[in-house]
Amino acid sequence: MKPDYGMECVNPDDIACICYTAGTTGLPKGAMLSHGGLTWNAEALIDMWKFSQKDVLLHMLPFDHIHGMFISLNCSLFTKSSIIFRPKFDVNDALNWLPRCTVMMGVPTYYSRLLQKNSFDKSLAKNIRLFISGSAPLSTALWEDFNLRTGHEILERYGMTEGFIPSFTSSYIISLIPLFLSPPWVQFMPKCFAYLAEMTEIILVIIEL
């Protein structure tokens, strides 16, 4: 008798994965991520980042982190778009594949390494519609240098392993924008930032230069 490999029905609250945090505030912790949470996050990001079946994602992120395992991967899986998998980030390899892609997701170091190559210019990035950075702070200087070289504005997203991606920001602007706001209704404000004061209150601070 052949074994039954049929799909098992799951509920939205069922645990899909135990993904470990980076341990920023202590030892790494196993975050229990639900099927419903992963689905909601993917659908929200697809809507916000306008993913479609025509997109081609350059995937060079490790799979032992939520960034590579779910944030970048699920947008493509849910839209049935193409993914170019690379075993790890290598700047020369990235330069080779970039012209064939429409989306790149990475960490600030990836973009810094690209800028160190004189051959990296607008022509190599002409087919990219979205550069996304996360998992570490993106400096204003790096954002500006990348924009000057390529004409692209790196979109910096913020999130936690246990909370998915609740906001995104341009590093140059340093503002937290909730997921339910999507272009063209989002208007970035230079040199401002927001922080939570109470559970129901957001304080917006604008820095006058």
- Per-residue tens of pLDDT for the chain, all 209 residues: 666 667 778 888 898 888 888 777 788 888 888 888 889 888 988 988 899 999 999 999 888 778 778 888 899 999 999 999 999 999 999 999 999 999 999 999 999 999 999 999 999 999 999 999 988 888 889 999 999 999 998 988 877 777 665 555 544 333 434 433 444 434 445 555 555 555 555 555 544 54
Distance CA 73, CA 70 (A): 5
Locate 80 and state its tokens: 């049935």
CB 90 within 8 A of CB 67: no
Domain count, the chain: 1
**Residues paired with 34 in a beta bridge:** 15
Residue 75 lies in a domain: yes
pLDDT reported for residue 16:
87
Residue 19 lies in a domain: no
What CATH number corresponds to the domain at position 134?
3.40.50.12780
Distance CA 56, CA 44 (A): 19
User: Residue 97 sits in which domain range?
Assistant: 38-208
Residue 3 lies in a domain: no
CB 35 within 8 A of CB 11: yes
pLDDT reported for residue 168:
53
Nearest to 80 by CA among 105, 55, 61, 62: 55
Could you count the other beta carbons within 10 Å of the beta carbon of residue 24? 8
pLDDT reported for residue 190:
52
Angle at 156 between CA 154 and CA 162, to 5 degrees: 155
Residue 20 lies in a domain: no
Residue 85 lies in a domain: yes
Residue 49 lies in a domain: yes
**What global pTM score does this model have?**
0.74
Residue 12 lies in a domain: no
